[in-house]
Structure 1
Amino acid sequence: MSIRKSINKARSKFYNKVTSYTFMKYSSLLVLIGYILLLIIGVTVAALFDPDGYTIWKNWISDLGSSNHTPTPILYDIACIIAGSMTLPLTFYMENLLAPLPYYDETLLRKQHFSRLRFRLSSFAFLFSIIGNFGYIGVGIFSADRNYQSLSILGEGPHNIMSYLAFGGFTFGAFFMGWLTVLYKTKIPKILGIYGIFGPLITAILNLIYGTPLLEWFLLFSILLWIIPLSLFVLYKPGLIPR
């Protein structure tokens, strides 16, 4: 076997492993438990030890990653890296689930194709979700304490850039996946799809207009209110669990 074939075989095996239902299930559960727990602990520690008193209505989320506000900024950094990396399998799994390949219908004796709009919506949902995943990993790597100005682009430090990518990626990922679940049969509740279209997007627009710490927190909550129910439906709804 040539080196190229060996690499392709190993890559295919790795992809099938990390996008399998079992791997997606445990990685999603790690996010649901680990990320939320670390976030709660991080906020609690900051509220107790921030010299000025940490609250969600006067402090930015990124302050959780700053030693000026908390003695344990590493908690938020780890939470971001866990959330960004461990939701990658869910992103790939949802892409496979919602944009399946054409299949041969033995009853009709011909290949069945799905609409181009469905593939486009799923492609945009996948692309923006991936951007959100890597953006959130970047938030953990380039925290408020590591917002190196030497890496600034157009006056924005790496932490700010990664924050825009994370929030923007997850917001538009929810938007396009929401349209997909509303327009097509996906076994995901359409009410959740409607929320995915409007919830994070409206909150993101308000955050861009007014730019307050509380609205930034609301944007995070609006994204979690999309991802958590979606994860639970995929994990536990019988029609979405492979047999």
Structure 2
Amino acid sequence: MFSKQTREGGETIRQDITIIAGLAVFLIFSVFTLTSIALFPDGFSPFENWISDLGNSEYNPSGSMIFNIGCMITGISMALFFIGLKRHYTTEKNKRNMTLTLAMGLFSSFSLIMIGIFSEDYPQEHTLWSGIFFVALIIFMILANITLMKHKGFFKPIGYYAFVIIMLDLALIVTKVMGMKVPILEWLTVFASIIWILLLAYNIHIGKPSVHQA
């Protein structure tokens, strides 16, 4: 049998891994994206260019691989973070909800990895996985917010911020379905989402040890 101190030490290590994974999501995506923008040859504007244009080898021959690799590594980091998020915020009352939330989070992470694999060089596959990513992301955030807002260790303003992101994601999906080109909505949705993950990581950091709090 493990001692209480040993178990608590193991939980602390897992929490630290979750926090690091959340920080990595923000840093990796930001660094790889900004590096790819710097290598974009004809000038890049979030008002004119979709994020995925950075991964197009025709548009961005020097920086496309950097962006696509960044998406894949970010997706892996997201998956690690979501696994830790479930462990940190699961209680006896919300086990089923957190399991469903984790499943959708892992699906969105996987779709981001697939966006990196199937860049705009593969239009059909890229469109499919990009659509899946944004739909999965909005479902995940709705499920996560519903569950987390009921947890006493959760900082409620982060939840209110998540509702803003959900509205941005909905607006993005609607404009794409209507055939409107509003790239800035995509930029706002993606970067607001990774900032949300960073805030969740910080919430876990300041709340330690709060695993399994009701």
Instruction: Please give the alpha-carbon distance, in whole angstroms, between the structure 1 residues aligned to 2:132 and 2:34.
Output: 23
Instruction: Please give the alpha-carbon distance, in whole angstroms, between the structure 1 residues aligned to 2:47 and 2:146.
Output: 32
1:96 paired residue number: 87
Instruction: Please give the alpha-carbon distance, in whole angstroms, between the structure 2 residues aligned to 1:30 and 1:181.
Output: 22
Instruction: Please give the alpha-carbon distance, in whole angstroms, between the structure 2 residues aligned to 1:232 and 1:169.
Output: 23
Q: Equivalent residue of 1:145, what SS?
A: coil
1:41-78 CA deviation, whole Å, 9 max, x = no partner? 112222xx12xx32100111110001222121011101
1:120 Cα shift? 3.6
1:22 Cα shift? 4.2
Q: Equivalent residue of 1:69, what SS?
A: coil
2:127 paired residue number: 160
One-letter amino acid of the counterpart of residue 69, structure 1: Y
Assess, with a 3 A threshold, how the Cα gap between structure 1 residues 140 and 29 changes in structure 2: closer, same or farther.
same
Normalised TM-score (structure 1): 0.72
1:54 paired residue number: 44
1:180 matched to 2:147? The reply is yes
User: Larger Cα Rg: Structure 1 or Structure 2?
Assistant: 1
Out of 208, 211, 214, the position equivalent to 2:173 is 208
Out of 234, 237, 241, the position equivalent to 2:204 is 234
Contact 1:178-1:195 at 8 Å conserved across structures:
no
Contact 1:182-1:194 at 8 Å conserved across structures:
no
Contact 1:66-1:145 at 8 Å conserved across structures:
yes
2:6 paired residue number: none
* Structure 2: segments with no counterpart, 5+ residues: 1-9, 177-181
One-letter amino acid of the counterpart of residue 146, structure 1: Y
Instruction: Please give the alpha-carbon distance, in whole angstroms, between the structure 2 residues aligned to 1:236 and 1:183.
Output: 18
One-letter amino acid of the counterpart of residue 123, structure 1: T
Instruction: Please give the alpha-carbon distance, in whole angstroms, between the structure 2 residues aligned to 1:235 and 1:99.
Output: 16
1:145 matched to 2:148? The reply is no
2:103 paired residue number: 127
Normalised TM-score (structure 2): 0.81
Instruction: Please give the alpha-carbon distance, in whole angstroms, between the structure 2 residues aligned to 1:234 and 1:170.
Output: 21
1:136 matched to 2:112? The reply is yes
1:154 paired residue number: none
The structure whose RCO (Cα within 8 Å, separation 6+) is larger is 2
Instruction: Please give the alpha-carbon distance, in whole angstroms, between the structure 1 residues aligned to 2:195 and 2:136.
Output: 15
Contact 1:174-1:226 at 8 Å conserved across structures:
no
Moved more, 121-130 or 25-34: 25-34
Instruction: Please give the alpha-carbon distance, in whole angstroms, between the structure 2 residues aligned to 1:120 and 1:191.
Output: 24
2:7 paired residue number: none
Instruction: Please give the alpha-carbon distance, in whole angstroms, between the structure 2 residues aligned to 1:162 and 1:231.
Output: 26
Assess, with a 3 A threshold, how the Cα gap between structure 1 residues 240 and 81 changes in structure 2: closer, same or farther.
farther
1:189 Cα shift? 0.2
Instruction: Please give the alpha-carbon distance, in whole angstroms, between the structure 2 residues aligned to 1:201 and 1:29.
Output: 21
Instruction: Please give the alpha-carbon distance, in whole angstroms, between the structure 2 residues aligned to 1:29 and 1:206.
Output: 27
1:41 matched to 2:35? The reply is yes
Instruction: Please give the alpha-carbon distance, in whole angstroms, between the structure 1 residues aligned to 2:211 and 2:149.
Output: 20
1:194 paired residue number: 160
Percentage of identical aligned residues: 21
Instruction: Please give the alpha-carbon distance, in whole angstroms, between the structure 1 residues aligned to 2:130 and 2:98.
Output: 23
